[in-house]
Amino acid sequence: MSVRRLIVEVDLEGLNVAEFCRQHGVSTWLFYQLRRRYQAEGETGLESRSRAPKRVANRTPAWIEDVIVAERKRLEEEGWDAGAATIAFRLPHLLPAGIAPPSEATIWRVLSRRGFVIPQPKKAPQHSYRSFSAERVNECWQLDDTDWHLADGTSVRILNIIDDCSRVAVASQALATCTTAGAVETFLTAANSWGLPARFLSDNAKAFRYGLTEAVTALGIEAGHSRPYHPQTCGKVERFHQTLKKWLAQQPPPASLTELQTQLDRFCHLYNHERPHRSLDRRRPIQAFTQTPKAGPRNRPLGQPTTTHRLRVTGGSIHIGKRYQISVGAEHNGQTATVIITGTACHIFIAGKLTRQHTLNPQHRSQPLYPRRGNPGTLKPQP
**Rounded to 10 degrees, what is the CA torsion of 270, 275, 277, 281?**
140
What does DSSP say about strands 353-359 and 345-350: parallel, antiparallel, or unpaired? antiparallel
What is the Cα–Cα distance from 294 to 136, expressed in whole angstroms? 5
Closest CA to 231 of 223, 218, 242: 242
CA distances from 24 to 3, 20, 28, 221, 301 (A): 7, 6, 11, 85, 90
| Residue pair 167/276 in contact by the 8 Å Cβ criterion | no
Give the span between the Cα atoms of 237 and 159, in whole angstroms. 10
Beta bridge mates, 173: 159
Q: Provide, for the chain, the percentages of residues in helix, strand and coil under a 3-state DSSP scheme, each rounded to the nearest 5.
A: 40, 20, 40
What lies within 8 Å, CB to CB, of 30 at 6+ separation is 7, 21
41-68 as b/e: b if 16+ CB within 10 A? eeeebeeeeeeeeeeeeeebeeebbebb
Give the integer Cα–Cα distance in Å for 148 and 244.
11
Q: What are the residues whose beta carbons fall under 8 Å from the beta carbon of 23, sequence distance 6 or more? A: none
Q: What is the structure's pLDDT at 119?
A: 78
Question: What's 323's DSSP letter?
Answer: T
With contact defined as beta carbons under 8 Å apart, do 168 and 191 qualify? no
Three-state secondary-structure class, residue 185: helix
> Where does the chain show beta strands of DSSP type E?
141-149, 155-163, 169-175, 199-202, 222-225, 306-312, 317-320, 324-327, 336-342, 345-350, 353-359, 366-367
> Could you give the dihedral angle defined by the CA atoms of residues 102, 108, 112 and 118, in that order, rounded to the nearest 10 degrees?
160
Amino acid at 184: V
What Cα–Cα distance (Å) separates residue 112 from each residue in 69, 83, 124?
Answer: 11, 11, 17
With a cut of 50, list the residues of the chain below it in pLDDT.
379
Q: Which long-range contacts (CB under 8 A, 24 or more apart) does 67-72 make?
A: 67/91, 67/94, 67/95, 68/102, 68/107, 68/110, 68/111, 69/110, 69/111, 69/114, 69/116, 72/111, 72/116
The confidence score (pLDDT) of residue 58 equals 82
Cα(316)–Cα(4) distance, integer angstroms:
103
Q: Going edge to edge, which strands form the sheet with 141-149?
A: 169-175, 155-163, 141-149, 199-202, 222-225
Helix axes 17-24, 2-9, angle to 10 degrees: 170
How far is it, in rounded angstroms, from Cα 330 to Cα 124? 60
